[in-house]
Amino acid sequence: MDAQFWNMKWQKNQIGFHLPAVNPLLVKYFPVLELKEGARVFVPLCGKTLDIHWLLQRGMNVVGVELSQIAVEQLFSELALTPQITDVAPNMQCFQAKNLTIFVGDIFALSRVLVGSVQVIYDRAALVAFPPAMRAAYAEHLMDISGTAEQLLVTLEYDQSCIAGPPFSITQQDIQRYYGAEYAISCLENTSVTGGLKGGVPATENVWFLKPE
C-alpha cells in the first residue's frame, strides 16, 4: 500500500470511495454479529466513514486505524467530538474520545497490545485496498492484532483486467486462501453494483461472515 497515494487523495479531497451514507450492507447484516451494547468493533482503514457514526449510535465501542490524519480530524469534527491525542508508537498517534479510538498511522505498525480486546472486525474498505502482493500479510496481521476476532467483510469482484484498483477484485478463492485456515467462511450476499465500477465495469459486491473455528 502506497501511503503517499492515500494521503494525497485526502489532501486533494479526492475521496469518491467515501460513501455519503451508512453502508446498507452493515445495517442489513449487523444483527448476524449478535453484539451486546459496549462490544468493541475494529474498523481497519476506516477513513471518516459514516458507518462509525452508526455503530456508535448503537452503543458500540469503535476502534479504527487510518493513514490520513485529515480523515481522522474530519471524523471527530463531524461527530462533534474533541479527541485526546497521544503518541503511542513511532509515527503513530491515537485520537480518543468517548467510545471511539482511532490510531493514525500504518496498520502494520499497530500491535495487539494497542488494539486491545475486540469482538468483531468490520472490514468494508481495507482488504479491497491492498494489492495482491500485500493481501496475505494484511490478513495475517489483522488476525494477529485482533486475536482472530470474527469478521463482517465486504469485498468486490470484477474483471481486474478492465480497470486498475483500488478497489481491487477479491474472489471467493482469495478469501479462502487468506482466512480459510482460521475461519468458517459464509457468503451472506452477492449483489450487483448499480452502474458498475469506474465507468460501468460490471461488478459484484459480496458480504462474508468469518467465524473463528
- Whether residues 132 and 106 fall in one domain: no
Pairing of strands 61-66, 84-89: unpaired
- Whether residues 7 and 94 fall in one domain: yes
Q: Let me know if residue 26 belongs to a domain.
A: no
Taking Cα atoms as reference points, which of 6, 47, 23, 62 lies closest to residue 156?
23
* Chain centre distance of CA 110: 14
**Strands annotated E in 67-182:** 84-89, 92-97, 100-104, 120-123, 150-158
- Whether residues 140 and 177 fall in one domain: yes
Tell whether the torsion through CA atoms of 134, 137, 140 and 143 is positive or negative: negative
Q: What is the dihedral of CA 21, 12, 109, 135, to 10 degrees?
A: 70
Q: Let me know if residue 183 belongs to a domain.
A: yes
pLDDT for 202 equals 96
Q: What is the pLDDT of residues 83-123, one digit of tens each?
A: 999 999 889 999 999 999 999 999 999 999 999 999 999 99
Q: Let me know if residue 22 belongs to a domain.
A: no
Sheet-wide strand order for 40-44: 84-89, 92-97, 100-104, 61-66, 40-44, 120-123, 150-158, 203-212, 183-192
Enter the C-alpha cell of residue 142.
489483522
Binding site annotation covers 66? yes
Domain that holds residue 103: 1-11+37-118
pLDDT for 2 equals 65
- Whether residues 55 and 74 fall in one domain: yes
Q: Let me know if residue 200 belongs to a domain.
A: yes
- Whether residues 133 and 190 fall in one domain: yes
Q: Let me know if residue 29 belongs to a domain.
A: no
- Whether residues 127 and 93 fall in one domain: no
CA distance 74 to 80: 10
Binding site annotation covers 54? no
**Strands annotated E in 36-169:** 40-44, 61-66, 84-89, 92-97, 100-104, 120-123, 150-158
**Domain finish residue from 67, 100, 118:** 118
- Whether residues 7 and 89 fall in one domain: yes
Where residue 158 sits, what CATH number does that domain have? Answer: 3.40.50.150
- Whether residues 51 and 110 fall in one domain: yes
**Domain finish residue from 52, 86, 118:** 118
Q: Let me know if residue 131 belongs to a domain.
A: yes
- How many domains would you assign to the chain? 2
Which stretches of the chain score pLDDT less than 50? none
pLDDT for 6 equals 64
pLDDT for 4 equals 72
pLDDT for 14 equals 58
Q: What is the pLDDT of residues 37-52, one digit of tens each?
A: 999 999 999 999 999 9
pLDDT for 16 equals 61
pLDDT for 199 equals 77
**Domain finish residue from 84, 118, 152:** 118
Q: Is 82 exposed, middle or buried (0-12, 13-18, 19+ CB in 10 A)?
A: exposed
pTM over 0.85: yes
Q: Let me know if residue 28 belongs to a domain.
A: no
Neighbouring CB atoms inside 10 A of 106's CB total 14
Q: Let me know if residue 146 belongs to a domain.
A: yes
- Whether residues 113 and 206 fall in one domain: no
